[in-house]
Amino acid sequence: MLKNALATCMFAAAFTLGGCATIFDGSNQDIMVSTLNDSSPESTQCQIRNEEGEWRVVANTTSVIHKDGNQLEVECENASQKGVGSASPSFQAQWLLLDLVWDACILTASCIIDGATNAFYKYPSTVVVNMADKEGVE
């Protein structure tokens, strides 16, 4: 697997001058916001936020966001409840290793490209938000 990925990465990088992570894993990621104790899941709206942008989504659906090396914040709300959640990204070292093996991060600037697109990072695929009743709402 690693041998095939390395060979493919070398071929692709030679023609696109991109980083391995950017080419094969991309700078975007699917995220599912899952709510717990949600009295009205069909009307719960969530806002996902990191330093790369903000996205409004319906709870319990999958959305595409831009990866970032910083905390992902999620706020969900419906008429009677609200909740917050977060997720930390993990650094995907295998992509850095491929960049180093391919060109020592020099010839195609693969490390710079993957760093600039945040392709080295990945969030958990699901962020869980525990919903609680709003104060004063019955």
Q: Is 46 exposed, middle or buried (0-12, 13-18, 19+ CB in 10 A)?
A: buried
Regions of the chain short of the pLDDT cut 50: 13-16, 21
Q: What is the pLDDT of residues 72-93, one digit of tens each?
A: 999 999 999 999 999 998 776 5
Taking alpha carbons only, the member of 49, 31, 32, 20 closest to residue 117 is 20
Model confidence, pTM: 0.72
Give the whole-angstrom CA distance, residue 98 versus residue 49.
30
Measured CA angle at 113 (ends 109, 116), to 5 deg? 140
